Structure 1
C-alpha cells in the first residue's frame, strides 16, 4: 500500500512530467475480484473516491473515455450526448490492450497510446482526492481531481444512471 518500490507506469510518468503530486497504492488483484469495490475495500478507502475507466466508441467521434465511480453504471444515452455522439458502445475487452496499451483492470485515463476525449462523472467535483488505475492491475494512484482532469484535458458531466 505504499508509494515506495512501485513500478513507474506511463500514467505515473505523465503526472511526474506535469509536476502533479500523487500517491501510489498497491493491492492484490485477481480476476475473481476485479470489481472496483474490491479496490476500495482492499485499500480501506471510501468507495465513492474510486473511479473506473471505461472506453467506448461513438458513432461520430470515434473512441471516447469515461471515468465514473466504481459503484456507478454508465448512462449510455448521457455518455453519447456529452461526447457529441448519437450513440456510444463500450469496446470489447479484446480491443482494450491494442487500443490503449492497458489491460482490463489496469486501464488508466492517463497515458493511453493515444489521447482520446475523456469525460469524468460530475460526482468527481464533490471529492477531495480520486483514485484511478495507475496503469497496472493492482495499482491505484491517488490524485487531486482538478489536476487529473486538467492533465487529460477532460470534461466533467453527469454520466451515471440514477
Structure 2
C-alpha cells in the first residue's frame, strides 16, 4: 500500500479505497477520477502545491471542479505571493508522482489548506498516493491527519 493508506490505517480512521483504470493520455487526473468513479466533481479533491518566492511549499486541496485561488491561499498562509510549484519539486517534496500526489503521508510535512467547500460533504475523495487510487474520508479526518486548516481557497 501507499504511505497515504498506511497513515489512514495507523490512525484507525474510517476510510474507503476506490480504484479505477488510469488512462495515461488523460489531461486532468482529478476529472478522470470523478468520472471513472461516478462521483460529483465537487466531492473529489485534487492536491496542488504552491511555492512562495523563497521556495517554501504549501499544499492546497481543492475540488476538481474548481481552480486554486493563489491570492486566497497566499493570504491564508501569510505569504506575499505564491506560484504553482514546479512538478519535479512537488514530486521530490511529497514522494508522490504528479497525478497521484496525496495530501496524506507526504515525505515532508507541509502546511496544508483544504478548501472550505469540503465541509458540504460527509466524505470527500483525495488521491491515495498513486494514479488510479482514491481514498474517501471525512474532511475532519483529513485535517486532523495533516494538521491542516480549512479556508476558502478555490475558484468555482
Instruction: Give 1:54's match in structure 2, choosing from 20, 27, 48.
Output: 48
Instruction: Give 2:11's match in structure 1, choosing from 7, 11, 18.
Output: 18
Higher RCO by CA contacts (8 Å cutoff, separation 6 or greater) = 2
Cα distance in 1, alignment partners of residues 153 and 130 from structure 2: 25
Cα distance in 2, alignment partners of residues 60 and 127 from structure 1: 35
2:108 is aligned with 1:114:
yes
Q: CA RMSD in A?
A: 1.4
- 1:3 corresponds in structure 2 to none
**TM-score, normalised to structure 1's length?**
0.91
Instruction: Give 2:76's match in structure 1, choosing from 79, 82, 98.
Output: 82
| SS of alignment partner, residue 68 of structure 1 | strand
Q: CA deviation at 1:126?
A: 0.7
Cα distance in 1, alignment partners of residues 40 and 154 from structure 2: 18
Cα distance in 2, alignment partners of residues 132 and 34 from structure 1: 17
- 1:157 corresponds in structure 2 to 151
Q: How many residues align?
A: 155
Q: CA deviation at 1:120?
A: 0.4
**TM-score, normalised to structure 2's length?**
0.94
2:21 is aligned with 1:9:
no
Instruction: Give 1:138's match in structure 2, choosing from 132, 142, 146.
Output: 132
| SS of alignment partner, residue 135 of structure 1 | strand
Q: In the superposition, relative to structure 1, how do residues 61 and 120 fare at CA in structure 2: closer, same or farther (>3 Å)?
A: farther
- 2:87 corresponds in structure 1 to 93
Q: CA deviation at 1:37?
A: 1.5
The gaps in structure 2 that reach 5 residues or longer are: none
Cα distance in 2, alignment partners of residues 34 and 103 from structure 1: 15
Answer 1 or 2: which has greater strand percent. Answer: 2
